[in-house]
């Protein structure tokens, strides 16, 4: 026996609306049914790379121009004689002259090599310490507050001990760089793991993620923003510690930016002193820009950037 099925016109219209995304009237209200496709966010295409670079560069160029103008105004005021405080017209040619010489580049390579080696060791040690403290309650109780205390200690106070232990060698500088940066990185790891929502870990465990797999797939991505912030702060401490070390620990035959700065001070060359300071500042700005790019990409992947900023 064949049963004849009657399809009401209203139901047919609703089914048609679902397939072609037409508005459906329900009690006088138009509703757009798009199924699961409504969950997809339509994003505008990103701006061209050149436009993004220019939008990030021109404010910095404007700030530099304002700084140079204020600097020149102070020089014009005759607050200090020109041989003590030279103006941009004297320092910038000196900086260009240093860049054109081979000694500058050998000093730059030496300094950056120390910075990256010391920072890499600090990242390794800080990550291990942060994971251990966040994982074991007894260890957190025992040494958790010590990590913050080490972070608050000025790097300069470590140099007398470093010189006693390692003399005037590369190891003395690396020792202070690691001690200056590792606590900040460890605190970033600890804070990141502490603020992972418990619901995320429970969901991961329910789906079969346990032990190292849970940390790799759930905890690490959730803690990543705090970890990146700790890495950025750790670099700032490492760079400051390195500059202090190069001023105090001058290794014979190993030129560096810090030693060039100290040599210029000893010979009362104000233009050389300020030129070296500008070099240190420029390197800091470039490294910070690299961290900002990584942070921007992370926020973009998480949908935390406004459309006009992408």
CA 52-54-60 angle, to 5 degrees, is 120
| Per-residue pLDDT at 306 | 67
Are 167 and 235 part of one and the same domain?
Answer: yes
| Per-residue pLDDT at 310 | 54
Q: Higher confidence at residue 208 or residue 162?
A: 162
Are 66 and 110 part of one and the same domain?
Answer: no
Mean pLDDT over 34-60 rounds to: 62
Are 91 and 127 part of one and the same domain?
Answer: yes
In degrees to the nearest 10, what's the CA dihedral of 145, 150, 154, 159?
160
Mean pLDDT over 222-249 rounds to: 90
Distance CA 151, CA 155 (A): 9
Are 152 and 231 part of one and the same domain?
Answer: yes
Asked whether the CA dihedral 240, 245, 246, 247 is positive or negative, the reply is positive
Query: Which of 36-40, 74-78, 151-155, 194-198 shows the lowest per-residue confidence on average (mean pLDDT)?
Result: 36-40
Instruction: Give me the CATH number covering residue 178.
Output: 1.10.3720.10
Q: What is the pLDDT of residues 93-125, one digit of tens each?
A: 988 988 888 788 999 999 999 999 999 999 999
pTM of the model as a whole: 0.77
Instruction: Name the domain boundary from 61, 79, 97.
Output: 79
- Does residue 155 belong to any structural domain of this protein? yes
- Does residue 161 belong to any structural domain of this protein? yes
- Does residue 167 belong to any structural domain of this protein? yes
- Does residue 229 belong to any structural domain of this protein? yes
pLDDT tops 60 at residue 15 = no
Domain that holds residue 139: 86-309
pLDDT tops 80 at residue 179 = yes
Mean pLDDT over 261-272 rounds to: 89
Are 65 and 174 part of one and the same domain?
Answer: no
| Per-residue pLDDT at 150 | 87
- Does residue 257 belong to any structural domain of this protein? yes
Residue 89 token pair: 């017209």
pLDDT tops 90 at residue 139 = no
| Per-residue pLDDT at 300 | 81
Tell me how many domains the chain contains. Answer: 2
Are 218 and 72 part of one and the same domain?
Answer: no
Count H helices and E strands in the chain, helices first: 12, 2
- Does residue 39 belong to any structural domain of this protein? no
Length of the chain: 310
- Does residue 54 belong to any structural domain of this protein? yes
pLDDT band at 18 (very low <50, low <70, confident <90, very high): very low
Are 172 and 201 part of one and the same domain?
Answer: yes
Mean pLDDT over 68-86 rounds to: 90
| Per-residue pLDDT at 45 | 55
Q: Are 221 and 162 in contact (CB under 8 A)?
A: no
Are 299 and 194 part of one and the same domain?
Answer: yes
């Amino acid at each position: 026996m064949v049963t004849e099925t009657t399809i009401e016109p209203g139901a047919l219209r609703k089914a048609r609306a679902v397939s072609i995304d037409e508005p459906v009237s329900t009690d006088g209200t138009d509703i757009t049914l798009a199924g699961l496709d409504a969950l997809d966010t339509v994003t505008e295409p990103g701006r061209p790379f050149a436009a993004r670079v220019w939008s990030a560069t021109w404010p910095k160029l404007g700030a530099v121009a304002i700084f140079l103008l204020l600097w020149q105004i102070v020089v014009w005021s005759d607050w200090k004689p020109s041989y003590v405080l030279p103006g941009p017209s004297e320092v910038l040619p000196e900086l260009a002259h240093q860049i054109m010489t081979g000694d500058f580049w050998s000093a730059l390579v030496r300094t950056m090599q120390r910075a990256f080696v010391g920072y890499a060791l600090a990242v390794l040690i800080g990550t291990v310490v942060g994971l251990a403290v966040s994982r074991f309650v007894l260890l957190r109780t025992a040494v958790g507050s010590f990590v913050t205390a080490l972070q608050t200690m000025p790097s300069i106070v470590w140099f007398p001990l470093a010189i006693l232990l390692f003399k005037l060698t590369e190891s003395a500088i690396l020792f202070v760089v690691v001690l200056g940066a590792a606590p900040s990185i460890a605190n970033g790891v600890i804070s990141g793991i502490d603020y992972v929502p418990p619901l995320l870990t429970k969901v991961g465990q329910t789906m079969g993620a346990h032990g190292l797999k849970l940390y790799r797939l759930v905890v690490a991505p959730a803690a990543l923003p705090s970890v990146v912030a700790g890495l950025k702060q750790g670099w700032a401490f490492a760079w400051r510690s390195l500059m202090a070390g190069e001023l105090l620990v001058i290794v014979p035959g190993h030129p560096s930016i810090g030693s060039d700065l100290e040599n210029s001070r000893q010979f009362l060359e104000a233009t050389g002193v300020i030129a070296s300071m500008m070099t240190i500042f420029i390197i800091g700005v470039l490294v910070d820009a690299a961290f900002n790019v990584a942070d921007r990409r992370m926020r973009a992947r998480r949908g935390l950037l406004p459309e006009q900023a992408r």
